[in-house]
Amino acid sequence: MSDDGKDAGLVAMITSILGGNKRADVVTPPLTEAPPTAPTNGFEAIEPSSTDAEPAESEPAPEAVPAETKPVAPPPKIATTRDGKQLLPAEAIADLVLGELRKLENFPATGVSVTVYGYRHWNAMITFAPFSTTFRNATRFRQALPDLVFRLRRFVELEI
């Protein structure tokens, strides 16, 4: 087998593992000036569906005891600074940055990671997995990142 055949097979294998050239199907409008929303940590109220209330058997159960329902705990209050900025951990800020970047055209669905670092003037770094995007698009996303971080710093402060 020639070296070109080996290289093509290796590239095909890596592409299949990393998701290839799959792109996000949904194109959303560009960044807005609205403050970002903080992650909800999964504490959202869920309404029971009407199909869950029906019994599995056709015969009604005598003296059925209603299931105990617990009230849904409200999400924890988000800490804020004296300036009114939200105090969030680095992982939450990285999710916000990644969520805003996903609104850009041709942003890859997989193979991207955002790292938030610093303290008072936190910053973010974006890295791409091989074959997740083109060099031109990666450069465009890296150039958009400082502007996005500048906008988010007005609303979010890094929690230590």
pLDDT of residue 84: 79
Domain boundaries, given as residue ranges, for the chain: 77-159
pLDDT of residue 83: 79
Higher pLDDT, 31 or 119: 119
CA distance linking residue 113 with residue 136, whole number of Å: 18
CA distance linking residue 85 with residue 158, whole number of Å: 10
Residue 11 has pLDDT above 50, yes or no: yes
- Report the amino acid identity of residue 9: G
CA distance from start to end of the chain: 55
What is the reported pTM? 0.51
For the record, the structure tokens of 76 come out as 């924890």
Which residues is 114 bridged to in the sheet?
A: 126
pLDDT of residue 160: 79
Question: Are 81 and 133 within 8 A, CB to CB?
Answer: no
Residue of 112, 105, 99 whose CA lies nearest to 151: 99
Vertex 144: Cα angle to 82 and 14 (nearest 5): 120
Q: Read off the pLDDT of residues 41-82 as tens digits, 9 standing for 90 and up.
A: 555 545 555 555 555 555 555 565 555 666 666 666 667 777
Which positions ≥6 away from 27 have C-beta within 8 Å?
105
Q: Read off the pLDDT of residues 83-128 as tens digits, 9 standing for 90 and up.
A: 778 888 999 999 999 999 999 999 999 999 999 999 878 999 999 9
153 SS3 class: helix
